[in-house]
Amino acid sequence: MIKKILTEDFIRTKVSCSDWKEAIHEGILPLLEKSYVEKSYEEAILRNFEKHGTYMVIAPGMVLSHARPEDGVNKLGMSLINLEEGVPFGHDLHDPVYLVITLATTDNTIHLEALKELMGILMDTEKYETLLHSKDKEEILAV
């Protein structure tokens, strides 16, 4: 499932961001450019951070940004960017963030298989480090 939705077009490496809001924007940009999501989806993600805090920072150095399907998702998709330098999100344990994965799902269940696969990858330290720091899209896709 993850190989179907996370393709080379949705991966960017060594992106520079000045703060967490810019990191969220850069993470969602590939999905916006391909019309998988609307601008309202980004706005919903930012509102969720401001309202609920840093719950989307799910692992050391990684944020899984997302909002609800009705917040502007047109098509199931996922993007991955890694950052040139870590950006603080305000999380006590997992800052700074180097990896922004943005998930756009059209309903509340279709994405579960992709999330399961992603969690398997994140639990493998070597693969996780590749996602965090690789400059090579092919290497990231191989993971």
The residue from 25, 52, 66, 111 that is catalytic is 66
Checking DSSP bridges between strand 77-87 and strand 11-15, what pairing results, if any?
A: parallel
Q: Is the pLDDT of residue 111 over 80?
A: no
In the sheet where 62-65 sits, what is the strand order?
A: 11-15, 77-87, 97-104, 62-65, 57-59
Q: Is the pLDDT of residue 93 over 90?
A: yes
| DSSP-based three-state secondary structure for 106 | coil
Q: Is the pLDDT of residue 37 over 80?
A: yes
Residue 91 annotated among the catalytic residues of the structure: no
Q: Is the pLDDT of residue 67 over 70?
A: yes
pLDDT of res. 118: 80
- The stretch 4-28 carries a mean pLDDT of 94
Partners of 59 in the β-ladder: 62
High-pLDDT (> 70) share of the chain, %: 95
pLDDT of res. 51: 95
| DSSP-based three-state secondary structure for 110 | coil
